[in-house]
Amino acid sequence: MAFTVRLLLFSSLFLLPVSVFAQTNSSIAVGDFLTATAANSSPWLLPSGDFAFGFLPLGSNDLFLLSIWYAKIPDRTIVWYANRDNEAAVAPKGSTVNLTANSGLVLNSPQGEELWKSETIVGVVANGVMNDTGNFVLQDRNSESLWETFNNPIDTMLPGQTLERSGKLSSRQSETNYSKGRFQLLLQEDGNLVLSTINLPTNFANEPYYATDTTSGTVAGSEGKELVFNVSGYLYVLRENGGKYNLAVGEVVSARDNYIRATLNFDGIFAQYYHPKNFTGNVSWTILWSEPDNICQRITESSGVGVCGYNSICTLKGDKRPTCRCPTGFSLLDPNDLYRGCKPDFIQGCKEDELSGTKDLYDVEVLTNIDWPISDYVQLKPFTAEKCNESCFQDCLCAVAIFRSETCWKKKLPLSNGRVDVSLNSQAFIKVRKDNSTLPIPAPQLPCPDEL
């Protein structure tokens, strides 16, 4: 039974006092199990109580996510979750996760259907252990690791965790949708750590929009061996020759006093966060550093569609996270998701303009320092702003014209990789249909008698 749902995490459901967590032993015996049942669900805790493994409720429709989260902070930030075939292993109420000797962790629906299990186990599981690092480990009777969440990351790394070559993090689709998103962090076989967009539903990666360039060069052994997040909170690419490429020079906070994580966000930003362990009042996660500096501009044609999707405009917020908006005459493809792109609220095209029966169809909205660097089909130079506007206005193929430096670029739908760039000193002329009307649907054509 597969579930594809928009996962709305109700923070009020997470504000459970730590006292409801009955189990504080970090060792889990074969045969132990958890059941997905709202407030009565007691997760497996590590001794410090910092992390919990169990079911978190998703919205108000009796669905749960098998996950690991920070147990002592109000928003219960998830650092790992069960994922199967690029979809979150969403479990209905009454589902159980069992620790078995031969298959490790097995998640079953109330009807007994297998929803997820830990990867193939070579050996016999003797017990499970929740480490203070937030790592859930399946061990044999010699305490050797057979499977662990640190070796199967989703979108987050924790101090003490490493990523080997070909290891990757995959973003979720949105803040509340845990299915595989369209960004990935990958330590390539050549040692280069890269951020790329993915052309879903395939795993095809576009050209990186960020790279450490830790490949073999003039210095022997300079290629990256692994991505290390050490227990002190430093994140770096360890080279074959023992050298280090630090992802953030000089940026560190105390791992003793703070929770620290590195997450590939749904919007393609890879960031390191910290949250004080001891706090009062309303305290949230703080960004220590992030890459890239400006994702609105870093994702180019070779890097894939921009973070905001088609026909949208990307703007950076103060924390270097992108936000998206639709230009006038366009609306969101998904009203609940700013990052899915925009659609025109009117029909535009040569045939449509002909059938409208009037020449006075459009207004023009003028925006400054906005560009869609892809999608142009003609370049006019030298030109003036007035001529650029007029040329697009009279061209039934033209949706937007961009003018700067005596050059006019005419563009057609869909508009790609839109962004704000104050350095452009440009004007964007956007055609907006006055009546937002749609054309009548023509009557179906009846077949000719000799076709019957």
Assigned domain for 420 exists? yes
Same domain, 398 and 332: yes
Please give the pLDDT value at position 436: 58
Rg (CA), the chain: 26
Look up residue 391 and give its amino acid: S
Assigned domain for 450 exists? no
Please give the pLDDT value at position 76: 87
CA-based torsion, 173, 174, 179, 184: positive or negative: positive
Same domain, 280 and 350: no
Confidence of residue 449 (pLDDT cuts 50, 70, 90): very low
Angle (CA) 38-44-47 rounded to 5° is 135
Look up residue 79 and give its amino acid: V
Same domain, 118 and 227: no
Is residue 375 over pLDDT 80? Answer: yes
CA 132 vs. chain centroid, Å, equals 27
Please give the pLDDT value at position 351: 80
The 10s digit of each residue's pLDDT in 107-139 is 999 999 999 999 877 899 999 998 889 999 999
Q: Are 399 and 339 in contact (CB under 8 A)?
A: no
Same domain, 36 and 54: yes
Confidence of residue 433 (pLDDT cuts 50, 70, 90): confident
Residue percentage of the chain with pLDDT more than 70: 89
Same domain, 163 and 253: yes
Same domain, 158 and 269: yes
Mean of pLDDT values over 209-213 = 95
Assigned domain for 177 exists? yes
Please give the pLDDT value at position 437: 53
Tokens of 273: 């966060």
Same domain, 165 and 264: yes
Please give the pLDDT value at position 24: 37
Distance CA 344, CA 333 (A): 9
Please give the pLDDT value at position 19: 30
Assigned domain for 445 exists? no
Least confident span in 55-59, 69-73, 93-97, 286-290:
55-59
Same domain, 221 and 119: no
Same domain, 250 and 203: yes
Is residue 252 over pLDDT 60? Answer: yes
Please give the pLDDT value at position 358: 63
Residue 190 maps to which CATH number? 2.90.10.10
Residue 354 maps to which CATH number? 3.50.4.10
Beta pairing partners, 371: 419
Distance CA 352, CA 396 (A): 9
The 10s digit of each residue's pLDDT in 320-363 is 899 999 998 999 999 989 999 999 998 887 887 777 656 678 89
Q: pTM above 0.85?
A: yes
Assigned domain for 233 exists? yes
**Among the three residues 261, 292, 323, which one is the final residue of a domain in this structure?**
292
Please give the pLDDT value at position 439: 45
**Among the three residues 151, 180, 214, which one is the final residue of a domain in this structure?**
151
Mean of pLDDT values over 243-262 = 90
Mean of pLDDT values over 293-306 = 88
Is residue 5 over pLDDT 60? Answer: no
Mean of pLDDT values over 156-184 = 94
Assigned domain for 136 exists? yes
**Among the three residues 95, 126, 151, which one is the final residue of a domain in this structure?**
151
Distance CA 202, CA 91 (A): 25
Same domain, 144 and 157: no
Same domain, 266 and 395: no
The 10s digit of each residue's pLDDT in 378-410 is 999 999 999 999 999 999 999 999 999 999 999
Distance CA 286, CA 304 (A): 29
Least confident span in 8-12, 107-111, 205-209, 290-294:
8-12
Measuring CA to CA, how many Å separate 236 from each of 148, 212, 233? 22, 10, 10
Assigned domain for 308 exists? no
Same domain, 227 and 334: no
Q: Are 295 and 196 in contact (CB under 8 A)?
A: no
Assigned domain for 388 exists? yes
Average pLDDT of every residue of the chain: 87
Residue the block writes with tokens 């599981």: 125
**What domain range is 404 assigned to?**
313-433
Specify the number of domains making up the chain. 3
